[in-house]
Amino acid sequence: LTGQVTAESLGTRQVAGIGGQFDFVLASSRSAGGASIIALPSTGGRDGGISRIVPRLATGAAVTTPRFLADWVVTEHGAAKLRGLGETARATALIAVAHPRFRSELERAVS
């Protein structure tokens, strides 16, 4: 809920390489008028049983994109503008684009 992104691990288990994600977000956020956009489905796992927007990354998870480089997060439920927001406002914006089934759980994690 702070905007950090992992695209390469599930906890301590490496599942992919970073590819070009870090290069993309760094270049887009630094270019004149640019913004980095992280687009993802709001759920994963079997039958969408896992929220991809989580209170915090799992212990040992690799941070592919640090929170200061995640300007926007987009899911099928909308777009969350994160640039310039503090932690509580970032969490609120991310909860709004999480799958509705997981929103109350995420809200409890912020309290």
Overall residue count recorded for the chain in this entry? 111
Name the DSSP letter for residue 47. Answer: G
23 versus 78: the higher-pLDDT residue is: 78
pLDDT at 9 over 90: no
pLDDT value of position 8: 83
List, for residues 46-73, the tens digit of each pLDDT value: 889 999 999 999 899 989 999 999 999 9
Q: Name which of 13, 16, 20 is nearest 61 in CA terms.
A: 13
**pLDDT attached to residue 85:** 96
pTM for the full model?
0.90
Integer Cα distance of 5 and 72 in angstroms: 11
The pLDDT of residue 7: 86
Residue linked to tokens 């270019």? 31
- pLDDT class for 18, splitting at 50, 70, 90? low
Interatomic CA distance for residues 54 and 43, integer angstroms: 10
